[in-house]
Structure 1
Amino acid sequence: MAVRLGVVAVVLGATAIVGPGQAALAAAAVSGTGASPGPYAFAEGARSIEGARSTADADPLEPGTTYKSSLPSSGKISYRLTLDASSNAYVSVTAVPSPGSTVSAIDGVKVYLEDDNGASCSVDTTNFGAARSPHPIAAWGRREISPGRSLCREAGTYYVFVERVDPDGEGSSPDAWDLELVAMTEPPAVKAGATSAPEVWDSASPQPLQGEAEERRGGGGFAGATPLDRGVWRDDIRPGRTLFYAVPVDWGQQLHVTAELASSDSGGTGYLPGALNLALYNPARGQVADVGVGYDGGQKSGSLPVLPPVDHANRHAAVEQTGAMRFAGSYYLVAHLAQDVADSFGDGPFVMTLRVRVSGAAQDGPGYAGESEPKGVFDVSDQDREAAAEGVAAGDEAALRAVAVGGIGTGSALLVGLGVWTVLTRRRNAV
């Protein structure tokens, strides 16, 4: 702690040189401190936008841009997309119930996409599940160019609709929910590939990865998800909280994850089904699969279903879980501990262990005829691999760049501070 505070002092001492905003950002990155977390950390710079009751008033979504909006308790709202005739398009909607709200087991968010003639392109629903604990959940809309689909292939205007699944369900509160929306586009492949999903892949359940757990703290949202590599990772989670992690999975690689919740020392009793929920989302933030872990105060574990290796042709599968494993990139692990756990076992924190196995050698992708929006979202770069190995969140890297750029030629004191800071950043999760 003394060394870390010393680094903060060095960075703060450079305020006059690099500017107070950069120094504050740097100090926050080093110390790991900040304001009390809310239920979800929205992407920095997300644009505010209103959903329209009528498509005539629907505001446009630009691919590659993140938006913040609001979902009323009843009725559907709409947004507008302009698409070409060759790219696949995905719109992910993350719904964030307000703190203190209640939800039914089947309540959730429904997202569907239609063309300008009302033809359905896709429908997706994500629910809160048996624990009935409000937390951030995401569903996606898709416009896919596929030989097997005759609809939604034309260039033109498309509409994204969002609504609650069960706003009038028993125990559901009528509060509006915050929304985070992001639209993405995927260019076509250079060469026509397979038109059916691979029929043979290793579907055996591997043993959970073993070894000593290394501490790695989860992020508060998709944009700030903490990078994870293959390994055994430990984190603290409190009832009602949701933690986000990002695992780079390349073409041809297979992901398997087991989540464990340690025993409680509170002496409490009871049982809560689905107390720990671990959900997997793909790089377009479409849900792939999830697992609920019941809790009675003793140590419990659960594994995600066995999933196929990442393959461009998976999108042709009839099974949704297989179809969602359609591109390389960062796959998100989202862990939520139900609020009701506190009633029986206290406020915690509770120790959660994630055993992350990424198997198989990375392979060449399909070769895209153009750039995705956002750029690189369906790819695994060397920087992604380094971030996963080091556990350095994007915000930390941004702070480091801000101070480094602003401090060029400012003296050895700042350089020494940054050098120590870099070491601490790499080791902070093991402290």
Structure 2
Amino acid sequence: MTAVLAIAGATATVLAPPGGAAFAAGDAPGYAFADGAPRIDGTNAASDAAALAAGATYRSSLPRNGTLYYRLDLDAASDAYVSVTAVPGSAGEVTAVDGIRVSVQDAEGGSCSSDSATFGAAHSPRPVTAWGMREIAPGGNRCQEPGTYYVTVERARPQDSPPEDWDLELTVATEPRPARTGATQAPEAWDSASPEAVPGEPEPRTGGSGFAHATPLGPGAWRDGIRPGQTLYYKVPVDWGRQISATAELDGAREPSGYATGALRLALHNPVRGEVDDAAKGYTGRPVTVGLAALPPVAHSNRYATSGQVGAVRFAGDYYVVVHLAAQVAEDFGEGPFGLTLRVGLRGSARSGPDYAGESRPEGLFAVSAQDRAAAPDSDSPADDDLAMKAVAVGGIGTGSLLLAGLTVWTAAARRRAR
């Protein structure tokens, strides 16, 4: 089913996937939360906190003032990761340093980790994501015991924050330890030269409006449209040993006169939604390109690096490419949509990962399956793309026929790849 939705996502606006972005007239869509995620209320005291289950996704809300608590019940054999995405209303004004702060604490209130995410120089309301973790480390002296832990969420600068509540999406993931444990090792030396932009003519691909609805992409060049205030989500399966790179190119405006600070923002998030890197550039109405920094190959040992950027590239799985166009762009350059080109690169050969002693939650989170690869074709595979476009370009096709056609195309493409 994932592959069928991916095929449909490459077509015209009328066939955009759930949560997808429409390259047509109208307001920029809001954040698309995970389907069926249960609601859970954060509490003002740890003693009353409701439990978050490993592998689950939840919805909640964050008031302007105060700290919210959620409970985690953890063993002593797994690393735990929590991500929190806050979605402010589009009408409220935000400051550069406002956003959210997330921490994980032990039962005594000792800090296991903390992270924050802010709106940045563009002052543009957008979904912001911070993450927290509890890591089991040889020789560690804090947050190593099984038992009760707490996640806290608060606004980074409540005194300057909009008064309305912000919607939240929370996820919890656990990663088992490797079956063989030994001395921790820093990551190997890697090629840190800035990657060259991926060449080629872009293929159409419609981005999603949230992590849960991110559009699958493989390496190559991809074309989309984006409106001021809109955030688009894509996901790229990245195996152990591979290096991901990405650039975003925004087309020029019809009347290039004005300036928007930090207008085009590109970010990369890892499989547990932790931010790896981000970059932003201003917009003068002329074409602009922004790219990620050089990143190391995905490796389990990256977690022992002193650099947080390297440490975030610690497991295989779906990496999320997130693009935001600041709402202020509309003031000088109109409502758009503006042409957007993504160029995604993958270098290096896939390697075997650690032999985990158990299963992650959600299951398969830190692996790249054959289904993942089939759902994220390369843009330089014209035969598959042409087939997919033909299958869904017939006017008036019904939903059932569309799904059947997409499944047929996916199966045929997979057989050709296998041969």
> 1:309, 1:61 → 2: CA distance?
32
1:293 Cα offset (Å): 1.9
1:420 aligns with 2:405: yes
1:32 aligns with 2:16: yes
Alignment of 1:15-164 (within 5 A): 31-32=15-16, 38-164=29-155
Partner of residue 246 from structure 1, selected from 235, 239, 257: 235
Letter of the 1:364 counterpart: S
Q: Which runs of 5+ in 1 are unaligned?
A: 1-27, 392-412, 427-431
Relative to structure 1, is the Cα distance of residues 147 and 255 closer, same or farther in structure 2, using a 3 angstrom cutoff?
A: same
User: In structure 1, the residue corresponding to 2:159 is in which secondary structure?
Assistant: coil
The answer to whether the 8 Å contact 2:56/2:172 transfers is: yes
1:321 aligns with 2:306: no
User: In structure 2, the residue corresponding to 1:322 is in which secondary structure?
Assistant: helix
Report the equivalent of 1:403: none
The answer to whether the 8 Å contact 1:193/1:313 transfers is: no
> 2:235, 2:99 → 1: CA distance?
23
1:197 Cα offset (Å): 2.1
1:39 Cα offset (Å): 1.7
Letter of the 1:367 counterpart: D
Which string of whole-angstrom CA distances, capped at 9 and with x for unpartnered residues, describes residues 139-194 of structure 1? 0110000125210000000000000001223xx32221000001000011011255
Partner of residue 189 from structure 1, selected from 167, 170, 178: 178
Letter of the 1:138 counterpart: T
The answer to whether the 8 Å contact 2:40/2:59 transfers is: yes
Letter of the 1:155 counterpart: P
Letter of the 1:166 counterpart: R
Q: Sequence identity of aligned pairs in percent?
A: 54
Report the equivalent of 1:305: 293
Letter of the 2:48 counterpart: D
> 1:300, 1:116 → 2: CA distance?
48
> 2:85, 2:353 → 1: CA distance?
28
Aligned residues: 376
Report the equivalent of 1:11: none
Q: Which moved more, 1:33-42 or 1:48-57?
A: 33-42
User: In structure 2, the residue corresponding to 1:56 is in which secondary structure?
Assistant: helix
Letter of the 1:333 counterpart: V
User: In structure 2, the residue corresponding to 1:162 is in which secondary structure?
Assistant: strand
Report the equivalent of 2:193: 204
1:375 aligns with 2:367: no
Which string of whole-angstrom CA distances, capped at 9 and with x for unpartnered residues, describes residues 354-405 of structure 1? 11001111100011111100001111111111111189xxxxxxxxxxxxxx
User: In structure 2, the residue corresponding to 1:168 is in which secondary structure?
Assistant: helix
Report the equivalent of 2:274: 286
The answer to whether the 8 Å contact 1:194/1:313 transfers is: no
Report the equivalent of 1:178: 167
> 1:168, 1:230 → 2: CA distance?
43
> 2:17, 2:221 → 1: CA distance?
24
TM-score scaled by length of structure 2: 0.85
Letter of the 1:351 counterpart: G
Relative to structure 1, is the Cα distance of residues 148 and 199 closer, same or farther in structure 2, using a 3 angstrom cutoff?
A: farther
Report the equivalent of 2:217: 228
> 1:389, 1:292 → 2: CA distance?
27
Which string of whole-angstrom CA distances, capped at 9 and with x for unpartnered residues, describes residues 257-315 of structure 1? 111111111x1411112101111110011111101021100001111011111000100
1:364 aligns with 2:352: yes
Letter of the 2:271 counterpart: P
1:198 Cα offset (Å): 1.6
> 1:110, 1:414 → 2: CA distance?
42
Report the equivalent of 1:4: none
Relative to structure 1, is the Cα distance of residues 59 and 258 closer, same or farther in structure 2, using a 3 angstrom cutoff?
A: same
Report the equivalent of 1:338: 326
Which string of whole-angstrom CA distances, capped at 9 and with x for unpartnered residues, describes residues 185-216 of structure 1? 00110112551322410000121010010110
1:388 aligns with 2:376: yes
The answer to whether the 8 Å contact 2:16/2:206 transfers is: no
Which string of whole-angstrom CA distances, capped at 9 and with x for unpartnered residues, describes residues 37-78 of structure 1? 742100001010000000111000001111000001111101
TM-score scaled by length of structure 1: 0.83
The answer to whether the 8 Å contact 2:245/2:294 transfers is: yes
Report the equivalent of 1:355: 343
> 2:359, 2:175 → 1: CA distance?
8
Report the equivalent of 2:8: none
> 2:34, 2:251 → 1: CA distance?
31
1:32 Cα offset (Å): 3.1
> 2:264, 2:182 → 1: CA distance?
39
> 2:285, 2:297 → 1: CA distance?
35
Letter of the 1:46 counterpart: A
The answer to whether the 8 Å contact 2:219/2:344 transfers is: yes
1:424 Cα offset (Å): 7.7
Which string of whole-angstrom CA distances, capped at 9 and with x for unpartnered residues, describes residues 298-353 of structure 1? 00111101111100010011111000000000000111100000000000001111
1:119 Cα offset (Å): 1.1
Relative to structure 1, is the Cα distance of residues 29 and 100 closer, same or farther in structure 2, using a 3 angstrom cutoff?
A: closer
Larger radius of gyration: 1
> 2:339, 2:356 → 1: CA distance?
42
Partner of residue 226 from structure 2, selected from 237, 241, 259: 237
1:30 Cα offset (Å): 8.1
> 1:390, 1:200 → 2: CA distance?
28
The answer to whether the 8 Å contact 2:264/2:290 transfers is: no
> 2:194, 2:316 → 1: CA distance?
22
> 2:57, 2:260 → 1: CA distance?
35
